[in-house]
């Protein structure tokens, strides 16, 4: 456990957990995010299960702390609070110091002060704050006023009130006057609105140099019409309202309505994805001591199939058009080219992951993604844990923003929980990730074993799917 004893900084500071700056933070292996107004972020975590000495990691800089208990019998290391001094300069450079401090240590009923004759410090740069465009916020406010955001009604979901979302925004994004809009975009992603945000990304012709990118409008209309997952169907007013339309009784009706609202829908998708990405950049990081792998079952929209997976990447040649050519490709064709081992792929859309294999398989429609963290990283830099802002608190979700690059480490056909699945192992480009075989023994011979993390029951509130394909209702 550790705390900040003295802080030298001329800017306003907050911890994203909402606790006081000098509070004791007792969870080892958990990354705590310090927010520095106008400058950036400092992620602090204590290395767990380290015999001696202790170590505090500050934005990947390692501060070694001497083992107090080894030199003072009767003192457990976990009972000693590591007291740290922090200095943050106006140029965004920080210095974290542990030095000759008096540590109060309990020995039964006796409290003694022990002088530690040691000084150690590390310095590094703060991580940058995200850019939030005021014009994007103005447009989003209009969409909120017109009740297109958030999703108008999530059946049976616990959900969150606007007041709850606003309070979470103030705690998680206090560095910006647009904290509510950032929080709301994360919340909206966890509802059925994610379908709109996905369609208007994966069905863009991103190889055609114009702004905004042209879209495969006929395929989007067909996907809206094909939805038939609980209340998420073209006859449902809430579902269609999320696409700025009225209930439809034919594909032609959907096409006609889409023709008139496509530009506004496309702009909504672009703006909401940008604000969502900014929010994801600002959320606290998950440490490698909590999870070294994340798992995603694809394709998780009811009406999409594996033939749509290959168009989720900037590297898909179909992105070059021409406009009107259907954005669809077989998985085999993708695997034979840009989705093969050693290639780098870049996502067009937000990707959602779970932290265990069972949850991912629950949503899988034939594909399992396994994201690995590089061995020289202590936190997931690009993945954000969004469950605290979710409409369903039982749904564990980590998200990667659009434009995230991955190196394809390997692609295998495997049997997972009696399902035939294509397993795609991913890592950051040019980084070493050798934990994969340790975490998923047997993957090299084409068979995945159960992950170390087991989850009892459904990975979401019963009957609450937010439009995502999953196994509990016969969708797979």
Question: Measured between alpha carbons, how far is 244 from 228 in angstroms, rounded to an integer?
Answer: 18
Report pLDDT digits (tens) over 321-362: 999 999 999 999 999 999 999 999 999 999 999 999 999 999
pLDDT at residue 174, as a whole number: 98
- 196 and 311 in a single domain? The answer is yes
Structural domain tally of the chain?
2
- 434 and 318 in a single domain? The answer is yes
Last residue of a domain, one of 73, 102, 125: 125
Q: What is the DSSP string of 279-306?
A: HHHHSPPPBTTT-SEEEEEE--BTT--G
Print the domain residue range for 255: 134-473
Question: Measured between alpha carbons, how far is 153 from 245 in angstroms, rounded to an integer?
Answer: 15
Residue burial 365-385, b: 16+ Cβ < 10 Å; e: rest:
bbbbbbbbbbeebbbbebbbb
- 102 and 158 in a single domain? The answer is no
pLDDT at residue 302, as a whole number: 81
Last residue of a domain, one of 73, 103, 125: 125
- Strands in 40-46's sheet, in edge-to-edge order, are 13-15, 32-36, 40-46, 54-58, 61-65
- 138 and 111 in a single domain? The answer is no
Contact at 8 Å (CB) between 409 and 420? no
pLDDT at residue 438, as a whole number: 38
Low-confidence ranges of the chain (pLDDT < 70): 50-53, 67-79, 100-118, 432-476
pLDDT at residue 74, as a whole number: 52
Question: Measured between alpha carbons, how far is 254 from 217 in angstroms, rounded to an integer?
Answer: 11
Residue 82: count other Cβ atoms within 10 Å of its Cβ. Answer: 21
| Phi-psi map region of 373: left, alpha, beta (phi>0 left; psi -120 to 50 alpha) | beta
Last residue of a domain, one of 76, 95, 125: 125
- 152 and 95 in a single domain? The answer is no
Query: Rounded to 5 degrees, what angle do the CA atoms 76, 79, 82 make?
Result: 115
Residue of 63, 34, 66 lying closest to 46 (CA atoms) = 63
pLDDT at residue 449, as a whole number: 35
Report pLDDT digits (tens) over 172-211: 999 999 999 999 999 999 999 999 999 999 999 999 999 9
- 156 and 301 in a single domain? The answer is yes
pLDDT at residue 440, as a whole number: 33
Q: How far is CA 397 from CA 189, 190, 191, 451, in A?
A: 11, 9, 12, 17
- 246 and 337 in a single domain? The answer is yes
Query: What distance lies between CA 380 and its chain's CA centroid?
Result: 9
Question: Measured between alpha carbons, how far is 101 from 85 in angstroms, rounded to an integer?
Answer: 10
């Amino acid at each position: 456990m550790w705390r900040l004893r003295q802080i030298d900084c001329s800017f306003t500071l907050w911890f994203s957990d909402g606790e006081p700056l000098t509070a004791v933070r007792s969870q080892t292996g958990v990354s705590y995010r310090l927010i520095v107004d106008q400058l950036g972020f400092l992620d602090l975590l204590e290395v767990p299960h380290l015999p001696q000495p202790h170590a505090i990691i500050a934005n990947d800089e390692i501060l070694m702390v001497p083992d107090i208990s080894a030199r003072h019998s009767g003192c457990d290391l976990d009972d000693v609070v590591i007291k740290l001094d922090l200095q943050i300069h106006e140029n965004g450079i920080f210095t974290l110091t542990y030095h000759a401090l008096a540590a109060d240590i309990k020995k039964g009923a006796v409290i003694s002060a022990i002088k530690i004759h040691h000084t150690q410090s590390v310095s590094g740069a703060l991580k940058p704050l995200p850019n939030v465009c005021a014009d994007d916020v103005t447009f989003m406010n209009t969409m909120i006023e017109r009740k297109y955001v958030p999703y108008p009604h999530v059946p049976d979901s616990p959900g969150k009130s606007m007041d709850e979302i606003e309070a979470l925004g103030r705690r998680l994004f206090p560095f910006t006057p647009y904290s509510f809009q950032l929080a709301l975009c994360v919340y909206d992603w966890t509802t059925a609105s994610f379908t709109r945000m996905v369609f208007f990304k994966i069905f863009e012709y991103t190889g055609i140099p114009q702004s905004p990118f042209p879209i495969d409008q006929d395929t989007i209309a067909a996907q809206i019409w094909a939805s038939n997952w609980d209340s998420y169907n073209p006859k449902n007013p809430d579902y269609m309202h999320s696409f700025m339309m009225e209930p439809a009784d034919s594909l032609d009706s959907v096409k006609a309505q889409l023709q008139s609202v496509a530009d506004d829908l496309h702009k909504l998708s672009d703006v909401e994805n940008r604000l969502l990405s900014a929010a994801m950049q600002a959320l606290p990081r998950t440490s490698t001591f909590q999870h070294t792998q994340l798992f995603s079952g694809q394709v998780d929209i009811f009406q999409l199939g594996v033939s749509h997976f290959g168009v989720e990447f900037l590297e898909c040649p179909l992105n070059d058009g021409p406009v009107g050519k259907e954005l669809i490709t077989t998985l085999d064709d993708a695997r034979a080219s840009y989705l093969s081992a050693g290639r780098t792929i870049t996502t067009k859309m937000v990707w959602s992951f779970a932290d265990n294999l069972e949850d991912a398989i629950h949503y899988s429609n034939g594909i399992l993604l396994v994201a690995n963290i590089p061995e020289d990283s202590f936190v997931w830099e690009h993945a954000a844990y969004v469950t605290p802002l979710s409409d369903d608190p039982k749904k564990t979700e980590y998200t990667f923003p659009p434009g995230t690059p991955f190196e394809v480490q390997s692609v295998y056909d495997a049997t997972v929980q009696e399902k035939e699945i294509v397993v795609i192992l991913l890592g950051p480009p040019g980084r070493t990730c050798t934990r994969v075989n340790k975490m998923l023994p047997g993957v090299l011979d084409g068979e995945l074993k159960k992950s170390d993390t087991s989850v009892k029951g459904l990975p979401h509130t019963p009957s609450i799917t937010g439009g995502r394909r999953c196994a509990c209702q016969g969708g797979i």
